Copies of this chain bind each other. A is one copy, B any other.
Amino acid sequence: MTPSPRRSGPPGRPRPASPLGLHRVIDPPGVLPQAAWQLDASPAIAPDEVRVRVDRLNLDAASYRQIRETYAGDPDKIRAAVLDIVATRGKMQNPVTGSGGMLTGTVEEAGPDSPLGLEPGQRIATLVSLTLTPLVINDSLYRWDARSEQVPCEGHAILFARSIAAVLPGDLPVPLSLAVMDVCGAPALTQRVVKQGDVVLVIGTAGKSGSLSAAAARQAGAARVIGVVPTRAEAALLREAGGLADAIVIADARDPVGLADQVAAAGGPADVTVVCVDVAGCEGGAILSTAPGGTVIFFSMATSFSAAALGAEGLAADVTMLVGNGYVPGHADFALDLIRRVPAVRALFERRVAP
């Protein structure tokens, strides 16, 4: 391992730790860790950092697919490629896709000034991307068959003061907890926006973020939850799970007029609309189904900024449109609590999480 540049400054003038991890950026200097080509992943922690003993990486699906296809599925080459990225960059960020993933592990050492509230021995998952997490792999990935994006491994990772990690609860299966944590920003922001008595529309209610958001809306005091699903099969699932939506609408969310008409017939327009389907072209329907003065929260990564902005203008729609921020303080605990307390959400998740 090369000497850490954190320690290569003038003697007696160590660079102070940055809550964002700027002190770990080697190349190019001055950028955020996510934008960096190379991070310093050395194990010694600053007073506000945490070191995690890693047991598993969960590679981003697009990243894993790119590597697998490049090496035609050859396990040795796939393992070598991942090892090379991590050794070269000090983080697992696929240079082609730019994406990372997340990891699970056990807290090994928590600096005295870390605000994350973690203690040695706790099993955690990181909720910030691997693209900004300093990482070292020590075991040559010998336990990984390279056939899925689940990578059992040994190594260490560093969390900054402003990283996000959640303790994996002992009472829930790990895959279920990870699936919940993956989308936990949606219910937290929904709960923050919905007010007592609101009509709430959730587009994609039978999905992961959608079912959690519907439950969060209910908890925040929604008078009526209208659930939109694309097919009869999803409507049956949602009905079977029970209790998440007061009305179920089967509609193509890309058809603004059709969606708004059906939502109106089901008790709309909505005071708050939550878009949870990763399908392009849902902006107009969400806007048109929302009452003047209402709010649309876009959680779908398929949302087009310009389609939302120009769509609202073209419809002369006075609606507040929020970019769904994946981070809300306390979001993981809130979502895990929902899945414990709302059987319908748990039932929908368990269908989607492979055992």
Contact = CB atoms under 8 A, between A and B. Distances in A.
Interface of A: 20, 22, 30-32, 34-35, 127-129, 131-132, 162-164, 185, 255-258, 284, 288, 298, 301, 303-306, 308-310, 312-329
A129 B326 contact: no
Contacts of A314: 32, 34, 128-129, 131-132
A284 B34 CA distance: 11
A163 B327 contact: no
24 contacts: A20-B257, A20-B288, A20-B315, A30-B255, A31-B257, A32-B257, A34-B314, A129-B314, A132-B314, A162-B316, A163-B316, A164-B313, A185-B313, A298-B305, A305-B305, A305-B308, A312-B323, A312-B326, A316-B327, A318-B328, A319-B325, A321-B325, A322-B323, A323-B323
Given A301-B305, A303-B305, A319-B325, 10 more contacts: A32-B314, A127-B313, A129-B313, A185-B313, A312-B327, A313-B326, A313-B327, A320-B322, A322-B323, A323-B323
A325 B296 CA distance: 11
Nearest to A193: B320
Contact of A310 (B30, B129, B163): B129
B305 A304 contact: yes
A258 to B, nearest CB: 7
A122 B35 CA distance: 53
Q: Which 8 A-B pairs have the closest CB atoms?
A: A313-B326, A321-B323, A312-B325, A305-B305, A162-B316, A303-B305, A313-B327, A308-B323
Nearest to A30: B257
B322 A321 contact: yes
A256 B164 CA distance: 20
Centre residue among A20, A128, A288 by max chain B CB count within 10 A: A20
A305 B35 CA distance: 17
A328 B301 CA distance: 26
A31 to B, nearest CB: 7
Centre residue among A22, A131, A185, A257 by max chain B CB count within 10 A: A257
A228 to B, nearest CB: 18
Nearest to A283: B323
Contacts of A288: 20, 32
Given A162-B316, A328-B318, A323 B305 contact: yes
Nearest to A325: B312
Contact of A325 (B164, B306, B313): B313
Contacts of A284: 32, 35
Contacts of A306: 301
Nearest to A116: B316
Nearest to A192: B320
Nearest to A301: B306
B329 A310 contact: no
Nearest to A284: B32
Contacts of A325: 309, 312-313, 317-321
B310 A323 contact: no
